[in-house]
Structure 1
Amino acid sequence: MSTATPETPWHAAYPPPRTTNPAALPRETVLQWLTEGTKLPGADFLLVDLRRTDFEGGTIRGSLNLPAQSLYPTLPTLFNLVKKAGVRDVIFYCGSSAGRGTRAAGWFADYLADKGVDESEVKSWKLEGGIKGWVAAGEQYTGLMDGFDEGVWKK
Structure 2
Amino acid sequence: MAATTEETPWHAAFPAPKITAASISRDDILQWLQGQEHVAGRDFVLVDVRRTDFEGGTIKGSLNFPAHSFYLTVPTVYAVLSAAGIKDVVFYCGSSRGRGPRTAGWFADYLESQGNTSIRALVLKGGIKGWVAAGDEYTALVSGYEASVWKSEQS
TM-score range, shorter chain: over 0.9
1:38 corresponds to: 37
- Counterparts in 2 of 1:1-155, with a 5 A limit? 3-19=3-19, 21-118=20-117, 121-155=118-152
Question: Letter of the aligned partner of 1:64 in structure 2?
Answer: L
- What TM-score do the two structures reach when normalised by structure 1? 0.95
Identity of aligned residues (%): 56
**Unmatched segments (≥5 aa) in structure 1:** none
Distance (Å, rounded) in 2 between the aligned partners of 1:68 and 1:134: 19
How many residue pairs align between the two structures?
A: 152
CA shift at 1:42, angstroms?
A: 1.6
Question: Letter of the aligned partner of 1:131 in structure 2?
Answer: I
CA shift at 1:38, angstroms?
A: 2.2
Instruction: Give the aligned CA root-mean-square deviation in angstroms.
Output: 1.0
Question: Letter of the aligned partner of 1:7 in structure 2?
Answer: E
CA shift at 1:3, angstroms?
A: 3.1
1:2-34 deviation per Cα after TM superposition (whole angstroms, max 9, x unaligned): 632101111111000001x32001111110011
Match of 1:39, SS?
A: coil
1:96-132 deviation per Cα after TM superposition (whole angstroms, max 9, x unaligned): 10000010111111110111111xx100001011000
**Unmatched segments (≥5 aa) in structure 2:** none
Question: Letter of the aligned partner of 1:3 in structure 2?
Answer: A
